[in-house]
Amino acid sequence: MPPAGSPPRRYNRIVPKILVTGGAGYIGSLTTYQLLQRGFEVVVVDDLSRGHRHNVPPDLLRVVHLQETAALAPLLIGVDAVVHFAAFIAVGESAREPELYFSNNVGGTISLLAAMARAGVKRLVFSSTAAVYGNPETIPIPEDAPLAPVSPYGESKLIVERMLKQLDEFRGLRSVALRYFNACGAMPEAGFGEQHDPETHLIPLLFRAIDTGEPIKIFGNDYPTPDGTCVRDYIHVSDLAEAHLAALDYLMNGGKSDVFNAGAGRGQTVMEVMRAVEEVTGRKVPYVIAPRREGDAAELVADSGKLRRVLGWKPVRSELGRIVKDAWEFFQSARAGASRP
């Protein structure tokens, strides 16, 4: 018994509990791994529509669709913050099936927010995207650049960002939206990497072209860029996961709602990435030049100064050679695993 008159004992929970949606996917699984490494308690919600069961320790995974609000609510009890990755992510598919994207990405988030409100969870880190900028006029792109998405995918993310602003005001929900540029690379030493189906991302598609001999299509070589191909900002997925940890730290310490670009802050052309792949693999990439794709911006490079300044984030693995080396190592081990009986 504490002596009479002494202040009440405080039972602060030392280990924050985080609910990760979409934690069976590419970025979510790696972030879950880094959260666990850092000692957080984690529960993962994923419906496995696009993710992989093997990406999550079985005892942490709850197979739930985001729109099952009633099933989400009990999972949120005692949760300190949510990291919300779950969404459909393919720009081209969103143009063919806009309703699917609004239903899953916006509808799913509304359901999650309702369940969070019911459980009194007041912190959220949200996966937004550079696609909210559309075809930006200023490079590198600052967070206050005009928001003008050119795809249902980008629009679905912008709608959620706007909802979060209102929920800050009317529900006291504190959120950080991270606008990712091109997430890439892998953590082969821990068994995590990119396995989208269908795959739409450049580096795994370059590997696949090497593997199958089927030429990869390069969409446009007449852009106003150094070699005519599109310029993108490639951020290593492990550095991106770290940005989520920094955002959580910020929110747990009373940070106000905000939006941050999450990119390495430098651009590379498609041809530069291809040359890096050829260097790392020692193989030639077969390719053909195809017409430009509608909606592809010539250049998307983040001004990542705010992420560095406010959240104290610094990329450590986002050098292109390292990204490609990690991704290639993972690609080879995944291929070997797939061909094992």
Ligand X SMILES: NC(=O)c1ccc[n+]([C@@H]2O[C@H](COP(=O)([O-])OP(=O)(O)OC[C@H]3O[C@@H](n4cnc5c(N)ncnc54)[C@H](O)[C@@H]3O)[C@@H](O)[C@H]2O)c1
| Residue 31 C-beta: closest distance to ligand X, Å | 9
Nearer to ligand X, 162 or 284 (CB): 162
Q: Counting contacts by CB under 6 A, is residue 25 touching ligand X?
A: yes
Q: Counting contacts by CB under 6 A, is residue 27 touching ligand X?
A: yes
| Residue 222 C-beta: closest distance to ligand X, Å | 25
Nearer to ligand X, 62 or 283 (CB): 62
Q: Counting contacts by CB under 6 A, is residue 325 touching ligand X?
A: no
Whether 329 and 204 have beta carbons less than 8 Å apart is answered as: no
Q: Counting contacts by CB under 6 A, is residue 22 touching ligand X?
A: yes
Whether 92 and 264 have beta carbons less than 8 Å apart is answered as: no
Q: Which of 153, 180, 234, 250 is an active site residue?
A: 153
Query: How far apart are the C-alpha atoms of 49 and 93, rounded to whole Å?
Result: 15
Q: Which of 198, 241, 208, 224 lies closest to 32 in space, CA to CA? A: 241
Supply φ then ψ for residue 219, to 5 degrees: -85, 90
Nearer to ligand X, 114 or 283 (CB): 114
Q: Counting contacts by CB under 6 A, is residue 115 touching ligand X?
A: no
Among 19, 43, 79, 87, binds ligand X (CB under 6 A): 87
Q: Counting contacts by CB under 6 A, is residue 61 touching ligand X?
A: no
Query: How far apart are the C-alpha atoms of 128 and 260, rounded to whole Å?
Result: 9
| Residue 139 C-beta: closest distance to ligand X, Å | 18
| Residue 25 C-beta: closest distance to ligand X, Å | 2
Q: Counting contacts by CB under 6 A, is residue 192 touching ligand X?
A: no
Q: Measuring CA to CA, how many Å separate 184 from each of 154, 157, 195, 232, 273?
A: 19, 20, 11, 11, 11
- Which H or E element spans position 290? strand 287-290
SS3 91: helix
SS in 3 state form for 232-267? ECEEEHHHHHHHHHHHHHHHHCCCCCEEEEECCCCC
Q: Would residue 101 show up in a list of annotated catalytic residues for this protein?
A: no
Contacts with ligand X in 29-48 (CB under 6 A)?
46-48
Stretch binding ligand X (CB under 6 A), from 74-82, 83-91, 220-228, 300-308: 83-91
Would you give the end-to-end CA distance of the chain in angstroms?
62
Q: Counting contacts by CB under 6 A, is residue 182 touching ligand X?
A: yes
Nearer to ligand X, 58 or 224 (CB): 58
- Residues serving a catalytic function are 153
List residues binding ligand X (CB under 6 A): 22, 24-28, 46-51, 65-66, 85-89, 104, 108, 127, 129, 180, 182-183, 196
